[in-house]
Amino acid sequence: MYHYLPRNRMLGAVLMLLAALSPLTAAAKEVTDLRGRTVTVPDAPATVAIDDGRFLLALALIDPDPISQLAAWPHDVSRLGEVYSQRMIDAFPALETLPSVASSAESFDMESMLAAEPDVAVVSLSRGPTDAQVATLESAGIPVVFIDFFIDPFAHQGKSLELLAELTGNQAQAQDYLALRDAHLARISQRLADAENAAEPSVFMEAHAGITRDCCFSPGSGGVGDYIDFAGGHNIGADVLEKASGKLNLEYIIAADPDVYIATGGPDLARSGGLTLGGGYAEDEARAALANMAERNGIAELAAVAEGRVHGLAHQLLNSPLDIVAVEALAQWLHPTLFAEIDPAATLAQINQRFLAVPYTGTGWVSLEASADAEPDDVAESDNAAQ
C-alpha cells in the first residue's frame, strides 16, 4: 500500500499549488452570505449554479438575460410554476438544455454540482449542502454561497438579491430595484406610523389552503408572519406558535374570530383541490377557488367570511423579491381607507416593465368582497350574526 503514498502526496502538492495560484489567476473578493459565512469568490464569476428554480425569478429581476451566467439549475419547473417556467423557457430556450443539479427539495447531489463546474454554487439556506459537503465543494474550487427567499423572506429578500447581483455583476439594476422596493415599503410604514392608534386588525393567514382535507396551517412568529405585522395587522398564529409556522386548532381560530381571513396558495395546490391562483390562473378561476376555501368547515362561520373580508395570495409573491406587491395588497386589505389609493397592480406592472426579463402574469392576489351579487347576502348574514 505504501507505494501509493508518493503519488498521493504529489497530487496533494499539485492541488495545493493550484489552490495557491488561483487567487493570482482570477481576482477574488469576499462576500458574507446568509449563513454569516465569509466566502471568497472570484471577482467576476463567469458562471453560477443554483439549487432552486425559484432563484430564476430573482435573477430575471436584475438581469435582462438571467441565464447568461447560469451553469446549472435543478429543472424543478413545478416550484417556479409550470406557466411561468414555460414562459421563461420560451424566452430563453437554453434553459432546457442546461445541466441539471439536485434541487434543495432533494438531498444534495455532489457529483452533478461538481460536474457542472460553476465558479460559485448558490444554494438554499433552508436545505442546502451539509458542512462536510460545503468543505468538499470548496476544496474542489467551488465556493458556496447561501441565500434565502423562503425561511425568513421579509428580512432576507434584499440581502439575497444583493448577493445574487454581486455574483452576477448586476449590482446597478439590483440597486435600482431595491430602491423601488424600499420606497414602496417606506410609504406603507410611514403612513401606518402617521395614522396613530390605527387599529390592528387580527388576521388568520392560512398557508397552503386546502392542501389536506383539514385546515389551519398558519405562519407563526417571524417568517411570513412578518409581512402581516409590517402591513399593520396582527397575526393570530403568532400568539400561539413560537416557531415560524405550524398547525392551529380550528377551534382556536373560530374562537379568535379574526377580522380578516387570508389564504395563500399557488398552482401546486390544483392536485389537492386547494387554493389555485398565481401564474396561469384567470381572476375568476382564482376567485372560485378562494370561494371554495371560504366554504369549508369552520372557516365558513368566521365573521371575516360573512362580512366579505376574504382574500387569496400567491406564495410566489411572498417567496420572491416581488414581495412589495404582496405587501401592498396586504396593507390595502387590512387598512382599506388608509391605503385606498395604493395600487399593487400598478406596482407589478411597473416591475414587469422596468425590471423583469420575463413578466409575471396571472392572478397573484384576489378577494371575495368584489363579487357584487354576493353583497346583499353578506349583509343579511352579518345581520344574523349580530343578532
Q: Which residue has the cell 444554494?
A: 123
**Cα 29 to Cα 40, 44, 138, distances in angstroms:** 6, 9, 15
Q: State the nearest-atom distance from the C-beta of 305 to another protein, in Å.
A: 11
Q: Which residue has the cell 389537492?
A: 272
Q: State the nearest-atom distance from the C-beta of 101 to another protein, in Å.
A: 15
Could you tell me if 118 and 50 are in contact, meaning their C-beta atoms sit under 8 angstroms apart? no
Distance CA 279, CA 124 (A): 23
Q: Which is nearer to another protein, 20 or 255 (CB)?
A: 255
Question: Cell for 184?
Answer: 414602496
Q: State the nearest-atom distance from the C-beta of 246 to another protein, in Å.
A: 6
Q: Rule CB under 8 A: which residues touch another protein?
A: 76, 78-79, 103, 105-106, 208, 211-217, 239-241, 246-252, 254-255, 257, 266, 268-273, 297-298, 301, 384-385
Q: State the nearest-atom distance from the C-beta of 378 to another protein, in Å.
A: 14
Distance CA 285, CA 287 (A): 5
Q: Which is nearer to another protein, 54 or 181 (CB)?
A: 54
Q: State the nearest-atom distance from the C-beta of 297 to another protein, in Å.
A: 5
Q: State the nearest-atom distance from the C-beta of 156 to another protein, in Å.
A: 20
Q: Which is nearer to another protein, 69 or 316 (CB)?
A: 316
- Backbone region of residue 65 per phi and psi (left: phi > 0; alpha: psi in -120 to 50; beta: other values): beta
Q: Which is nearer to another protein, 79 or 181 (CB)?
A: 79
Q: Which is nearer to another protein, 3 or 213 (CB)?
A: 213
Q: Which is nearer to another protein, 45 or 267 (CB)?
A: 267
Name all contacts of 247-251 with Cβ < 8 Å and 24+ positions apart.
Answer: 247/216, 247/217, 247/218, 248/204, 248/216, 248/217, 248/218, 249/216, 250/214, 250/215, 250/216, 250/297, 250/298
* Residues in the chain, overall count: 387
